[in-house]
Chains A and B, each alone.
Chain A
Amino acid sequence: MNPRKYGLEESVWTLLVKSNIIFQKDFHLEFRTRYAINAIILFAVISLTAVSFSVGPIQLEPPIQSAMLWVIIFFSAMSGLSHIFVREEEQQTSDTLRLVAPPTAIFLGKWGFNVVLLFSLEIIIIPLYIALLNVEVQGMSAFLLIIVLGSVGLASIGTIMAAIVAQASTRGALFAVLSFPLSIPVLRSAIQGTWTAIQGGGVAQCLADIQLLFSFTVVILTSSILLFEFIWRK
Chain B
Amino acid sequence: MRRDWWKWFLGIWMTLMILGAFLYTPVAKGLGETTRVLYFHVPAAWVATLSFLISAVYSIRYLQKQQIQYDVWAASSAQIGFIFTILATVTGSIWAKEIWHSYWNWDPRETSIFVLLLIYAAYFALRSAIEDTNQKARLAAVYSILAFVTVPFLVFVIPRIYDSLHPDPLINPEVKIKMDPRMLRVFLGSLFGFTLLFYWMLRIKTDIEFLKLKLTKRM
> A residues within 8 Å of B by Cβ?
160, 164-165, 167-170, 174, 177-178, 180-182, 184-185, 188-189, 192, 208, 212, 216, 219-220, 223-224, 227, 230-231, 234
Contact = CB atoms under 8 A, between A and B. Distances in A.
3 residue pairs, one from A and one from B, having the closest CB atoms: A168-B129, A185-B153, A181-B118
Contacts, number: 77
Contact of B139 (A192, A224, A231): A231
A223 B145 contact: yes
B96 interface: no
Centre residue among A164, A181, A227, A234 by max chain B CB count within 10 A: A181
Interface residues of B, number: 29
Interface of B: 63, 115, 118-119, 121-122, 125-126, 129-131, 135, 138-139, 141-143, 145-147, 149-150, 153-154, 156-158, 160-161
A104 to B, nearest CB: 15
Contacts of A165: 129
Given A164-B142, A169-B131, A224-B146, A178 B157 contact: no
Given A174-B129, A177-B122, A188-B161, A182 B156 contact: no
Contacts of A168: 126, 129-130, 139
30 contacts: A160-B146, A164-B139, A164-B142, A164-B143, A165-B129, A167-B130, A167-B135, A167-B139, A168-B126, A169-B130, A174-B129, A177-B125, A178-B122, A178-B126, A178-B143, A181-B115, A181-B119, A182-B146, A184-B115, A184-B154, A185-B153, A188-B158, A212-B157, A216-B153, A219-B153, A223-B145, A227-B63, A227-B145, A230-B138, A231-B142
A32 B61 CA distance: 43
Contacts of A230: 63, 138, 141-142
A212 B146 CA distance: 17
A160 B153 CA distance: 18
Nearest to B111: A184
A178 B120 CA distance: 10
Nearest to B120: A181
B111 to A, nearest CB: 9
Contacts of B147: 181-182
Contacts of B125: 174, 177-178
Contacts of B157: 185, 188-189, 212
Contacts of B118: 180-181
Nearest to A170: B129
A182 B119 CA distance: 8
Contact of A220 (B121, B142, B149): B149
A181 B139 contact: no
Contacts of A189: 157
Contact of A212 (B142, B143, B156): B156
A164 B135 CA distance: 10
Given A178-B122, A178-B143, A188-B157, A231 B138 contact: yes
Nearest to A227: B142
Contact of A181 (B63, B122, B145, B160): B122
Nearest to A168: B129
